[in-house]
Structure 1
């Protein structure tokens, strides 16, 4: 899968019109000078030679340097990856805390007024564009609650907190600065809620369907026949078994969160890999775009593998 993604990115970037030299230096140098720069960077070589060099470099974990700002790609990933990881995990927590309880309530009270409203909320949260939801939160929620609408922290926090791990929230905890911790958390609220709502609807519908199916199982009927209350049957029996297929989908939704992080970071000016990816795409920076997407691809594949392992540990039937 990683190889397929790398190949698609390589082909798409080179099929699209233009090149990084023209994007960065067009209008500043004449055509002859631009052609010399393309030759120096290897853009005039046959595509198969460029492709082989690209795969060889990735195999050595050498992503080269970005053409637009002359930064090593690994340094870009190190400096900006922490912000994307923080946003993705926070959004994941929001989606789980909202989606799973609402799905449980919706399945428990099927075809009632709460069920109708919860299902409608799930559809809207999944269908609404991320940038539109982010804009609404910025306009109608940020000011009443006193929440920031841009960036990962205030300038003073970014200046005073030392980058031990390049994850601002952890660095703020390490420094023991409570003001910085509060500042980082306040900046995180709106982007995390915006991105978390993207997959919240998926969890609502999935938990609801599995609760309804599990409630029809024989062991649930047997528990009710023994006089166990409906609430205890739902929580102790149906809910736990309904979570098994949900765990599998949780890993798949991680990829959706990474994709949504690009739009979320652009909406809130969040200094993560998604924002850098947009900048590099605009600059037609082949090496930087390929490097960042490679990291995304590896992360998704590893998370999918981890979910398969966890699923096998939870459900013994999977191991057979």
Structure 2
């Protein structure tokens, strides 16, 4: 019965994801076309003649009626074809494959750091409500959430990179490592591990520290505050008081009973933070010259290459929907009541 209800819940969520994806794709398509003129003229108008511009518009399909452009756009996305850039005529899919590994490494490292430090801090603050350590943790959570990610990154660069000289301040690895490590997965850290080059792996990890901590602090503040609030609410519930009355050790009550139930809204909020994390990744990649998709997105924005921007933003939108779906499934596994 339980497995059936879970399968039914997952099926329902998959069906609900279809209109969500359609709405997001439609919004991206419309927003990329509200500006006056057309993308080809915006990106290449100063470099091509009128005849060449007309030829490029026809090749890109921008001379077709708007509804035809819309259906072509949806048809390409279904085939996971995100279009081609105007400035350098590259498939956007190639950009995602080649630069996505760097963005994935950065975001995963940031999430891991946020979870490893945010959950214990929020749990401790919830157990020590209104005590001095709780106040310090709350202030820390507010500051990390409110501080602009690029400003924190610059401070880290100045202090840990320039003043102390402990860590590198830009790039994904040293030029020697990038030139010598064979690209197999487009994830440089994984490629160094596969190559068995411990020195190169250490170099990549050193370059990862500052950008990962900078981006992780953005999520850590939210995680600390949400965990604290939900732990406080859960510790005041009847079943927790009943467990304590039966003589169950306080640590067991907190970890096995209170924390598990407090995690459900925390997991939901973490899923909602996916869009914020991707936005923070764009700023972090720019600050640390990190060769990810976000860095490429800013370059194409500066060049007014709207077809490249459209493809990358569409990919980000699909990632957010996928993460939202995964979060719903994880919540159903943690709390069976959600399935019904």
The TM tier, using the shorter chain, reads: over 0.9
CA shift, 1:62, in A, is: 2.1
Partner of 1:60: 79
Aligned pair 1:309/2:329, yes or no? yes
User: Post-superposition shift, 1:50?
Assistant: 1.7
The corresponding residue for 2:68 is 49
1:163-178 to 2 correspondences below 5 Å: 163-178=183-198
How do 1:90-105 and structure 2 match up within 5 A? 90-105=109-124
Alignment of 1:245-264 (within 5 A): 245-264=265-284
Q: Secondary structure at the match of 2:168?
A: coil
TM-score, normalised to structure 2, is 0.88
Q: Judge conservation of contact 1:2–1:294 (CA < 8 Å) in 2.
A: no
Find the counterpart in structure 1 of residue 92 from structure 2: 73
CA–CA distance in structure 1, aligned partners of residues 56 and 319 of structure 2: 34
| 2:106 paired with 1:87 | yes
Cα distance, 1:231 vs. partner?
A: 3.8
RMSD: 1.9
Q: CA deviation at 1:179?
A: 0.9
Aligned counterparts of 2:59 and 2:250: Cα–Cα separation in 1:
72
2:219 corresponds to 1:199: yes
Unaligned runs of 5+ in 2: 1-19
User: Displacement, 1:311?
Assistant: 1.5
Provide Cα deviations, 1:242-289, integer angstroms capped at 9, x if missing partner. 222222222222222112111111111111111111111222223222
Please state how far the C-alpha of 1:36 moved relative to its aligned partner: 4.5
How do 1:1-320 and structure 2 match up within 5 A? 1-17=20-36, 19-31=38-50, 33-143=52-162, 144=164, 146-320=166-340
The range that moved more, 98-107 or 215-224, is 215-224
112 and 59 in structure 1: CA distance in 2 versus 1, 3 angstrom threshold? same
Separation in 2, partners of 1:188, 1:62: 31
Single out whichever of 276-285 and 167-176 deviates more from structure 2. 276-285
Deviations 1:156-200 (A, max 9, x none): 111111111111111110000011101111111111111111111
Q: Does structure 2 conserve the Cα–Cα contact (< 8 Å) formed by 1:19 and 1:284?
A: no
Q: Unaligned regions of 5+ residues in structure 1, if any?
A: none
Q: TM-score, normalised by structure 1?
A: 0.93
Partner Cα distance (2:306, 2:74) in 1: 13
**Which deviations, in whole Å up to 9, do the C-alpha atoms of 1:137-162 show, x marking residues without a partner?**
11112242521111111111111111
Deviation at 1:17, TM superposition (A): 4.1
Contact 1:126 1:199 in 2 (8 A): yes
Q: Contact 1:18/1:284 (CA < 8 Å) preserved in 2?
A: no
Alpha-carbon distance in 2 for matches of 1:145, 1:203: 31
